[in-house]
C-alpha cells in the first residue's frame, strides 16, 4: 500500500476544509502544499519561485479569511499556483499552461476564488479599492485583500492606488509581499511581537484614547505627541511612507512563520476601519534548494527533475530572437557609444542582461515602470543619445500615453525593441503581443518594422541605430529563429522598402514578420494546385512599400496580406494605400485583396502552432484563403479538413 506524501492536503479540496483544521496543523499543510507545487511544475513548467515564496501566506490567508466571499487579489498572478491547488483545482494543476488546461495566472472565468485576473503587475490595490468601495456602497461586510509583491510595488500605479485608498479611508487590507529586498528586515521574535501588538485592538484602543486626551492639550504639545507616537512606531517598523499615505502599517513580519502570520492577519481582519498595510517578508523559491540557490530563484522554468533541479531544456535548433537582438545591439554598441539600453524589470527576458555585462554603465533597469521607461528614453534622446527601449509588446501598452505625448509628438528618435510580438503560447492572452502594429502604426512619424527571421532582426537593429528622424520600432516573436545564417553585423535597410523572395503570377502573399516561413510553405502547396504564387516580405508595417503594392496588384489576381496582429494593423495600412492609389476601384477586373489577421477574440494559451491554427494564420489557412479567392471553394474546404 502506497502512503500518500500529502495526507492532509488530500483532504482539503477547498478552503472550507482548510478552515476546519487546528492552527497547529497548518505547518504540515504548507509543507505538503509546497511539495505538491514543486512536483506539479516539474511536469508542466511555468513560474515556480514566486509561488514557493507565498506558500505559508496562501495557507494563512485562506485559513483566516472566508474566501471566496472575502476577496483575495494576487499581484502578480504567477504566484498563485499554491492558491489554485487549495481552491478546487488540484486535480487539474498538471494541466497548467497547456491547451485546454489551467491558466498560469489568475483568471476570473476559471474560478470564483480568482477575484481579479492578473497577468501583469501593480493592479491589485486599484482593483481591491474598487471592490471595497463597491462593498461599502452595497452595504456589505466582506473583506478585500490585495497581495502585492514580486516587484509590483515598483510601479507608479500602485502608489496612485495607495494614495487614493488612504484618502477614501475604506476598509482595505494590503499585503506587501516583500520577496526581493526587504524594505525593512524582520527582526525575529521582537519584530513579530511588535507587529502583533500594533495590529491588535488593545493597542489601537489605547492609541485612540491617547489621541483623544492629547487633543485637549495645547496645539504644539499635541503635534509633538502625535509625531513622537508615529516616529516610535515607524522607527521600529519602517512604515513612515505608508502611514503618510493614510494606511495603518503593520510589520515587517516573517512570511514563512505561521505563528507570526496568523495572529496578525486575524487582527487586521477584525480591524473595522480604514486601510491597513501588512508588510510580509518572504523568500522567493523558499523550501526548494535549487530555486533558493539560483540567481532568478527559478522564476520561470521548463520541466525539471525534482531531485536535482535540472531543467529539461530541449536543444535549440536556432538561436532565440531575444538572444539575437542582444547580440546585434552589443555589436552596434561596440561601434557607437551613444547607444543605451532600457528595460523595465525584464533584463533576462529582453536580452539586456547580456548587453549589461558588456556595457553596465549604459544599461538601465527602471523596475516595473514602463511609463517612466519611455519618457526616460525620450529624455536621453533629447540629449543626443540613442536609447533602445526593450519591452514586451503587452508591457509597452502600459506606456502608450508616453509613446504618444513624450516621444511621437516631439519626433524623438527613441528605438522600441518589441519582444514577444504575436501569440506567445503558454503565457496566453495576457502576454500575447497582438496590438502593437495597430497602436504604433496610427501615430504620425512612427516607423514600424517586423523581423521575418533572425538575420532580418539584426538588420533592423542596425536600421534603428542609423535612423534619426523620429521614433522607430521593430517587433519580433518569442522563441527560436528559423535557423538562417547570421551576419557579424546587420545592414541598414532602406526605410519603407520590402522584398520579394519568390516570383509567381496568380496569387501574391505579402507577409509581415514571421508569417513569412508559413507563406513560403503555402506557396509550395499552392503550386500543387497549379497556382503560381509570389511571396513578399513587407519588412515595414509603416511606411508600407507602395511601389511593391502597385507591382503586386498589377501582376496578380489575388493579393493577401498576412500578419500576426490585430485588426487595424498592417492589413489596414495596406488597404489604405491600395485605396489611395485607386487600386481597389474595380477598373482592373478580377483583382482581389484580403488581409489575414488575428481574430477578434482572445486566444487561450496553447502551443504556438495550435494557436496559429485556431487563428487561421498558418500555411494551411493561407492555401485555403487563396483557393477560395480564386473560386475553388471545394479545394479550400479540402485543405482545411486535411
**Which of the following is catalytic: 107, 284, 539, 542?**
284
Read off the pLDDT band of 612 (50, 70, 90): very high
545 appears as a binding residue in the annotation: no
Residue 370, annotated ligand binder?
yes
Q: Among 233, 327, 398, 415, which one carries the catalytic annotation?
A: 398
Q: Mention the CATH class of domain 321-475.
A: alpha beta
Query: Is 120 among the annotated ligand-binding positions?
Result: yes
Is pLDDT above 70 for 424?
Answer: yes
pLDDT digits (tens, 9 = 90+) for 529-587: 999 999 999 999 999 999 999 999 999 999 999 999 999 999 999 999 999 999 998 76
The overall longest dimension of the chain from CA atoms, in Å, is 97
The runs of H, that is alpha helices, within 99-218 are 124-138, 156-168, 188-199, 201-214
> What is the pLDDT, as a whole number, of residue 231?
44
4 is in an annotated binding site: no
**Which residue among 31, 32, 56, 370 is the active-site one?**
370
- Residue 515 appears among annotated catalytic residues: no
- Does the annotation count 415 as an active-site position? no
Strands (E), 233-281: 248-254, 276-281
Domain limits, the chain: 9-301, 321-475, 500-641
Is residue 284 flagged as an active site residue? yes
Question: What is the number of alpha carbons within 13 Å of residue 542 lying toward its C-beta?
Answer: 26
Query: What residues are paired with 147 via a beta bridge?
Result: 74, 175
Is 150 flagged in the annotation as binding? yes
385-403 residue pLDDT tens: 999 999 999 999 999 999 9
Binned at pLDDT 50, 70 and 90, residue 591 comes out as confident
Tell me the C-alpha distance between 430 and 419, whole Å: 14
Tell me the sheet residues that pair with 301.
46
Same fold, 321-475 and 500-641: yes
481 is an annotated ligand-binding site residue:
no
Enter the CATH code of domain 500-641.
3.40.50.920
* pLDDT of 421 above 50: yes
Q: Whats the size of the chain, residue-wise?
A: 642
SS3 label, residue 110: coil
Grid coordinates representing 496 are 519603407
164 annotated binding-site participant: no
Top-tier CATH class for 9-301: alpha beta
State residue 433's pLDDT score: 95
179 assigned binding-site residue = yes
Distance CA(194)–CA(199), nearest Å, equals 8
Amino acid at each position: 500500500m502506497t502512503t500518500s506524501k500529502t495526507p492532509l492536503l488530500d483532504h482539503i479540496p477547498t478552503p472550507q476544509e482548510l478552515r476546519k483544521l487546528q492552527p497547529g496543523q497548518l505547518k504540515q499543510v504548507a509543507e505538503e502544499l509546497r511539495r505538491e507545487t514543486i512536483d506539479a511544475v516539474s511536469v508542466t513548467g511555468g513560474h515556480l519561485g514566486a509561488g514557493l515564496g507565498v506558500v505559508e501566506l496562501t495557507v494563512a490567508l485562506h485559513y483566516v479569511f472566508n474566501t471566496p466571499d472575502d476577496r483575495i487579489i494576487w499581484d502578480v498572478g504567477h504566484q498563485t499556483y499554491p492558491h489554485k491547488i487549495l481552491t478546487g483545482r488540484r486535480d487539474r494543476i498538471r494541466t497548467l499552461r497547456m491547451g485546454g488546461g489551467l491558466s498560469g495566472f489568475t483568471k476570473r472565468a476559471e474560478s470564483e476564488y480568482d477575484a481579479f485576473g492578473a497577468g501583469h503587475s501593480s493592479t491589485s490595490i486599484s482593483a481591491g479599492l474598487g471592490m471595497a468601495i463597491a462593498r461599502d456602497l452595497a452595504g456589505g461586510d466582506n473583506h478585500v485583500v490585495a497581495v502585492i509583491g514580486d516587484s509590483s510595488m515598483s510601479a507608479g500605479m500602485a502608489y496612485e492606488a495607495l494614495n487614493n485608498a488612504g484618502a477614501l479611508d475604506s476598509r482595505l487590507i494590503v499585503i506587501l509581499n516583500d520577496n526581493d529586498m526587504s524594505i525593512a528586515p524582520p527582526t525575529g521574535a521582537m519584530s513579530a511581537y511588535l507587529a502583533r501588538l500594533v495590529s491588535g485592538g488593545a493597542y489601537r484602543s489605547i492609541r485612540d484614547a491617547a489621541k483623544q486626551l492629547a487633543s485637549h492639550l495645547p496645539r504644539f504639545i499635541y503635534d509633538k505627541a502625535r509625531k513622537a507616537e508615529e516616529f516610535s512606531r515607524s522607527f521600529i517598523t519602517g512604515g513612515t511612507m505608508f502611514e503618510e499615505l493614510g494606511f495603518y502599517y503593520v510589520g515587517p513580519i516573517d512570511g514563512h512563520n505561521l505563528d507570526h502570520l496568523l495572529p496578525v492577519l486575524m487582527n487586521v481582519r477584525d480591524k473595522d476601519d480604514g486601510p491597513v498595510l501588512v508588510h510580509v517578508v518572504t523568500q522567493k523559491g523558499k523550501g526548494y534548494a535549487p530555486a533558493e540557490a539560483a540567481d532568478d530563484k527559478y522564476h520561470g522554468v521548463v520541466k525539471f527533475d525534482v531531485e536535482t533541479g535540472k531543467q529539461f531544456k530541449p536543444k535549440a535548433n536556432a538561436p532565440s530572437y531575444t538572444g539575437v537582438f542582444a547580440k546585434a545591439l552589443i555589436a552596434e554598441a561596440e561601434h557607437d557609444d551613444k547607444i543605451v539600453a532600457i528595460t523595465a524589470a525584464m533584463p533576462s527576458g529582453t536580452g539586456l542582461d547580456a548587453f549589461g555585462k558588456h556595457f553596465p554603465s549604459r544599461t538601465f533597469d527602471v523596475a516595473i515602470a514602463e511609463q517612466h521607461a519611455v519618457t526616460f528614453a525620450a529624455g536621453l534622446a533629447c540629449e543626443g543619445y540613442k536609447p533602445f527601449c526593450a519591452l514586451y509588446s503587452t508591457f509597452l501598452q502600459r506606456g502608450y500615453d508616453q509613446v504618444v505625448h513624450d516621444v511621437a509628438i516631439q519626433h524623438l528618435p527613441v528605438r522600441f525593441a518589441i519582444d514577444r510580438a504575436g501569440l506567445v503560447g503558454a503565457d496566453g492572452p495576457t502576454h500575447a503581443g497582438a496590438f502593437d502594429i495597430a497602436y504604433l502604426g496610427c501615430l504620425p512619424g512612427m516607423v514600424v518594422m517586423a523581423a521575418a527571421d533572425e538575420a532580418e532582426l539584426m538588420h533592423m537593429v542596425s536600421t534603428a541605430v542609423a535612423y534619426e528622424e523620429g521614433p522607430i520600432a521593430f517587433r519580433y516573436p518569442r522563441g527560436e529563429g528559423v535557423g538562417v545564417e547570421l551576419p557579424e553585423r546587420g545592414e541598414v535597410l532602406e526605410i519603407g522598402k520590402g522584398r520579394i523572395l519568390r516570383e509567381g503570377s496568380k496569387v501574391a502573399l505579402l507577409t509581415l514578420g514571421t508569417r513569412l516561413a508559413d507563406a513560403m510553405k503555402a506557396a509550395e502547396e499552392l503550386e500543387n494546385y497549379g497556382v503560381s504564387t509570389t511571396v513578399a516580405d513587407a519588412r515595414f508595417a509603416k511606411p508600407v512599400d507602395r511601389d511593391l503594392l502597385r507591382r503586386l496588384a498589377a501582376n496578380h489576381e489575388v493579393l493577401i496580406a498576412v500578419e500576426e496582429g490585430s485588426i487595424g494593423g498592417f492589413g489596414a495600412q495596406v488597404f489604405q494605400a491600395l485605396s489611395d492609389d485607386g487600386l481597389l476601384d474595380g477598373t482592373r477586373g478580377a483583382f482581389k485583396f484580403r488581409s489575414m489577421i488575428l481574430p477578434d477574440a482572445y486566444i487561450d494559451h496553447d502551443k504556438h502552432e495550435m494557436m496559429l491554427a485556431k487563428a487561421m494564420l498558418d500555411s494551411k489557412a493561407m492555401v485555403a484563403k487563396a483557393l477560395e479567392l480564386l473560386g475553388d471553394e471545394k479545394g479550400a474546404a479540402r485543405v482545411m479538413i486535411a
